Amino acid sequence: MCGIFGYWDRRREALAPSVLTAMARSIVHRGPDDEGVRHQMPRGVAVGNRRLSIIDLAGGHQPFVSDDGAIAVVQNGEIFNHVELAQELRAQGVRLDTHSDTEVILRLYEREGIACLRRLNGMFAIAIDDAREDALYLARDRIGVKPLYVHDDGQRMVFGSEIKALLPAIEARGAKPGVDLEGIHHYLAFNYIPAPWTAWQDVRHVMPGTWMKWSRSGAVRTERWWSLADQQERDHDFSEWQEEFLSILDDATRIRLRADVPWGAFLSGGVDSSTIVALMAHHVQAPVKTFCIGFADPRFDESHFAAEAAKRFGCDHTLEIAELNMLERWPMVLHHLDQPHGDASFMPTLRVSELAAKHVKVVLTGDGGDELFAGYEKYEQFFAQPGVDTLDDASFRRRYFDSISLFTPEARAALYRPEVAARLAGIDSLEAAAKPWFDEAAHYDRINQALYLDMQLLLSGNNLVKPDRMGMAVSIEARTPFLDWRMMELAFRSKGRTKLSPEGDKKHWYKKAVAPLIGEDLAHRKKQMFTVPVGEWFRKESYPWLARTLGGSDLLQQLFEPTAVTQMLERHRAGSANHTRELRALAALALWERGAAQHGFDVGVGA
């Protein structure tokens, strides 16, 4: 696990080494153990790395450079099948000098070119400077576990694992990125900014499952090297499916235990984390180290379920009871996110990451299980609505999109100032951000279409951001066995009824498959969201703070009608309406603006 950064200049104009130093320093939390940069100043290109040493502590220094000096590789992430790939390469006579997974990427690329990505089972963002082609490649893992951002002004492209790593290079050209109004528009629809947009103008994601190539011609080539939509649903016998499901998940867990540092797991006592911990326990002799935070308020406390699971699997379990009101941590959370996110669960995720970081450098998590196998209440509620099965495609898409939206198009229009509404007229978040994914998934049944949309938007846009940024904030690596490519492909070869039964049973076959492993009680316990009661605080003790935060935001004043925001506040405080999610999103936007402004960047929306 690391952070990467660098640039490519079409005119071969070199970036000052001090700027590269600033880029590296901005993400030191992602890699506090080591730093490496290869700067080809005559060519105007650099690839750099901040390293959190996990595999081959002594030999894993990056960049890895080919014997002839023509190719340099850096990566953020882990290639979990690097052991098997290294054995294969050695059998073919390829010399490997280390046990590092990054050297495996280099040697594969030398032999196979960028097509080698398909051979990698892992979570990764990779940069490859290839002087033979005089080109730079950027590549991202299949579903976007690891982040990668770019800013390209037509002359120079800069890249980094976090947006903050780009800002020194952008500023060095005398520019300051402004707020991306369309990104904020989509934020109000989703509660996060969906890729490829960001909160910043001209800062974009390298999309999951995609590589990009910069060359001297000026054209940027982009190719999708993996798509979850390539799967075809088929009928399964449950026993056959159970065997394949458990076999894949067991092996996905096994290879994610490869590390030369202490590791453990987040354990809530829910079906996902309990299943991962049970499989971990099968592969090791020492007790698995597990971590959980609890709260004094029983409505939000899962710690007794985690303790039950830890006892069942013989874990070395660490629990801390945390303060429930974590609003003072919100600015730190948003600093590490670089963008507004309205999801309150980032705060407790940071807290449990801090707990784990006292003991381990790697944690396994259950992330991805809900999106793959229909674990959220919203799926049961949506598909239980009368008439959903008879909707035509366009109506189904609109209704599902509306069901997951934060502000409806009408609510956003009423919130915006007239001049902002005029600038955004005609931009439909369903058409712009969701329709392309719905189109890809049109051959799936309706349940899988909904899950596919959430895999592409919610998972990579929000739910995977959470363990990455909150873990990296305290220099620990989060690994996600459910997002092994083999498991994702199995999930989308499985029909929707195996995930959400006609009776509304969520994770239907999945829970049946793991019940012998983790017990009926853990397999079938009611899902409890990992969150905190922000809405209650906004009505009571935190109302003055919220009013000051929203009222003191220049960005909110530029975007929104003050009376509309005030009415939302007052209705929520009086209890005549529940605007928790909307107010959370606006507060996150205001706090993000404050943090960005403190760093000297332009947070206005411009003309």
Catalytic residue among 2, 116, 292, 315: 2
**Helix (H) or strand (E) segment spanning residue 212:** strand 210-215
**Helix (H) or strand (E) segment spanning residue 38:** strand 34-40
Q: Are 140 and 4 in contact (CB under 8 A)?
A: no
Q: Are strands 2-9 and 45-51 parallel, antiparallel or unpaired?
A: antiparallel
Active site residue 2: yes
DSSP class of residue 300? G
Q: Are 48 and 35 in contact (CB under 8 A)?
A: yes
Q: Which residues pair with 73 in a beta bridge?
A: 64, 128
Task: For residue 193, give the nearest of 583, 573, 461, 524 by alpha carbon.
Answer: 461
**For the chain, how are helix, strand and coil distributed in percent, rounded to 5?**
50, 15, 35
Distance (Å, rounded) from C-alpha 345 to C-alpha 192? 13
Helix and strand numbers (H, E) in the chain are 27, 17
Question: What one-letter code names the amino acid at 379?
Answer: Y
One DSSP character per residue, 569-607 reads HHHHHHTSS--HHHHHHHHHHHHHHHHHHHTT-------
Distance (Å, rounded) from C-alpha 124 to C-alpha 146? 5
Distance (Å, rounded) from C-alpha 431 to C-alpha 427? 8
Q: CB-based contacts of 411: which residues, under 8 Å, 6+ apart?
A: none
Q: DSSP 3-state assignment of 225?
A: coil
Tokens 């492909």 correspond to what residue?
489
Q: CB-based contacts of 497: which residues, under 8 Å, 6+ apart?
A: 445, 447, 508
Tokens read off for 554: 């220049």
Kindly list the catalytic residues: 2
